[in-house]
Amino acid sequence: MTAPLTIIGSGMAGIGLLKQLRMLDAERPVTLITADAGDDYAKPLLSTGFAKRLPPERLAARSALEVADQLGVVVRTRTQVDAIDPAGRCLHIGEERLAYGELVLATGAAPSVPFAIPEGLAGRVFTINDLDDYRAFHAALTAIGRRARVAIVGAGLVGCEFANDLIAGGHAVSLVAPEHAPLPRLLPEPLGRALGEAFGEAGMVLYLGRGLARLEAAGSDVGVTLDDGERLEADLVLVATGLRPRCELARSAGLVVGEAGIQVDRYLATSAPRIHALGDVACVAGVNAMYVQPLQASAKALARTLNGTPTEVSYGAWPVLVKTPLLPVVALPPLSVPARWRIEGEGSDLVAFAEDQDERLIGFALTGACVKRKVELARAAPPLLG
Ligand code: FAD
């Protein structure tokens, strides 16, 4: 019997690929292996659940069992792949050796926490990057049984979305970050400041321009000390200090891996034969976008390639829609440092054009009422991967 196509990872990339494959071939034997529970869920919904008071089970579209049944695949949940043997074409799972025919790595990205979390704070300091994390944070929040004081460390996309969502859910939120304005990687500072003001008006307390010095237990509270000595107390801390592609399996198997992920070409092929990668773990021809539209395009192209029609992936000028209803934000960050940001607009309704030396548009950012210009500007901007 030929060994099956094997996918590691049941996030939107792994399950997305599976859905695309099944549209082309209903019969091919496929095994899906995942370290988590294998639920089919949309990760972007994690940062919208607290305002709507959604319990974790409401976020999953279907269970791993339903995925197995409806897509006709073998699903192995709570199964950590320890190593890949590309020469022997097998996976190491504990003592087990599992043969694969073709392998797809969809292992995503893991939270990167640049400081140690004291052991005594287990259950009070969290990251939220999957449904299991959401489940744990949701349980801790529910156990408090009243309006919780939540300190969020990190003002990037994930930190800002949870900050907005938790305050909309009735909690008291503080936002701590070393940058002087929220969303520093997506927005030039004046637009970031507009978002900060909208957060402040909603009652959020912002500690910007200051890093975290330490976290410590203070009775049932968490003491959060900033690097200028100021201290606040919280019931729970949410750390949102960035994500790093999970490349360990690929790296130790000798695949070519860079800072931004497993290096793949536009066919999503890694440097090893019969191994492809997509999603947050993959850097496609130098681009790792780490959001949904690019991974969906990758899933579509890779399904065709694996089905016998080699297909290159391309990405359009797809802006990121940040889920901060207190001030809507849309951004297409430029791939290279712009020569200038040209900013227009009034109050919190702003447009920022990222331009190169020749005044060509290479990216943009929009806030407030100006988000309606996203389609027009996306048409004028260069594709992420043309
Ligand atoms: P993941 O979802 O991380 O899945 C990785 C899978 O690999 C998991 O199943 C894991 O268990 C498995 N795995 C890893 N290592 C192993 C191993 N050794 N053995 C077995 N299994 C393993 N993008 C947008 O476009 N719009 C948004 O609004 C948006 N909002 C977001 C909000 C939040 C809070 C977050 C965290 C992200 C958001 N994103 C958004 C980004 C988007 O969700 C991700 O780009 C996407 O979900 C990544 O999917 P993935 O399948 O590549 O990785």
Q: Find the CATH number of the domain harbouring 343.
A: 3.30.390.120
Of 19, 43, 78, 241, the residue with max ligand 1 atoms within 8 A of its CB, to mutate for a pocket test, comes to 43
Of 15, 91, 107, the residue with max ligand 1 atoms within 8 A of its CB, to mutate for a pocket test, comes to 107
Query: In this structure, which residue's CA is closest to atom 4 in ligand 1?
Result: 11
How many residues in the chain?
A: 386
Query: In this structure, which residue's CA is closest to atom 36 in ligand 1?
Result: 129
Residue 365 lies in a domain: yes
- Provide the CA 160 distance to its chain's centre, in angstroms: 13
291 lines ligand 1 (CB under 6 A): yes
How remote is the CA of residue 347 from the centroid of ligand 1, in Å? 35
Q: Tell me what pLDDT residue 181 has.
A: 98
**Whether the model pTM is above 0.80:** yes
Residue 253 lies in a domain: yes
Q: Tell me what pLDDT residue 119 has.
A: 87
DSSP class per residue in 74-119: EEE-S----EEETTTTEEEETTEEEE-SEEEE---EEE---SPPPG
Atom of ligand 1 nearest to the CA of 291: 45
Residue 177 lies in a domain: yes
Q: Tell me what pLDDT residue 353 has.
A: 98
Domain boundary among 184, 217, 239: 239
Residue 97 lies in a domain: yes
Which residues make Cβ contacts (< 8 Å) with residue 104, sequence separation at least 6?
5, 6, 7, 8, 14, 17, 275, 276, 277, 278, 302, 306
13 lines ligand 1 (CB under 6 A): yes
| pLDDT of 2 strictly over 90 | no
Domain boundary among 239, 266, 286: 239
81 lines ligand 1 (CB under 6 A): yes
Other Cβ atoms closer than 10 A to 26? 9
- Asked if residue 226 and residue 136 are part of one domain, the reply reads yes
Residue 311 lies in a domain: no
- Asked if residue 120 and residue 76 are part of one domain, the reply reads no
Residue 83 lies in a domain: yes
How remote is the CA of residue 106 from the centroid of ligand 1, in Å? 9
pLDDT in tens, 236-270: 999 999 999 999 999 999 999 999 999 999 999 99
303 lines ligand 1 (CB under 6 A): no
Structural domain that includes position 199? 113-239
| pLDDT of 206 strictly over 90 | yes
Residue 385 lies in a domain: no
Number of domains in the chain: 3
How remote is the CA of residue 90 from the centroid of ligand 1, in Å? 24
- Asked if residue 186 and residue 119 are part of one domain, the reply reads yes
CATH code of 65's domain: 3.50.50.60
Residue in 182, 176, 170 with CA at minimum distance from that of residue 151: 176
Q: Tell me what pLDDT residue 116 has.
A: 87
For the segment 5-9, the average pLDDT, to the nearest whole number, is: 98
- Provide the CA 165 distance to its chain's centre, in angstroms: 16
Instruction: Give CA–CA dist 353/342, Å, rounded.
Output: 5
pLDDT in tens, 15-44: 999 999 999 999 999 999 999 999 999 999
pLDDT in tens, 86-119: 999 999 999 999 999 999 999 999 999 998 898 8
| Whether complex ipTM tops 0.90 | yes
- Asked if residue 294 and residue 151 are part of one domain, the reply reads no
Query: In this structure, which residue's CA is closest to atom 8 in ligand 1?
Result: 9
For the segment 192-216, the average pLDDT, to the nearest whole number, is: 97
- Asked if residue 131 and residue 231 are part of one domain, the reply reads yes
Query: In this structure, which residue's CA is closest to atom 6 in ligand 1?
Result: 9
- Asked if residue 150 and residue 297 are part of one domain, the reply reads no
Instruction: Give CA–CA dist 234/237, Å, rounded.
Output: 7
- Asked if residue 248 and residue 106 are part of one domain, the reply reads yes
107 lines ligand 1 (CB under 6 A): yes
- Asked if residue 222 and residue 262 are part of one domain, the reply reads no
Residue 181 lies in a domain: yes
How remote is the CA of residue 142 from the centroid of ligand 1, in Å? 25
Q: Tell me what pLDDT residue 253 has.
A: 98
pLDDT band at 85 (very low <50, low <70, confident <90, very high): very high
Q: Tell me what pLDDT residue 289 has.
A: 93
The two tokens of residue 105 are 């790595």
- Asked if residue 94 and residue 198 are part of one domain, the reply reads no
For the segment 154-172, the average pLDDT, to the nearest whole number, is: 98
- Asked if residue 228 and residue 128 are part of one domain, the reply reads yes
How far, in Å, are 116, 146, 149, 338 from residue 219 at the CA level?
19, 18, 15, 48
- Asked if residue 17 and residue 55 are part of one domain, the reply reads yes
- Asked if residue 120 and residue 87 are part of one domain, the reply reads no
Q: Tell me what pLDDT residue 346 has.
A: 96
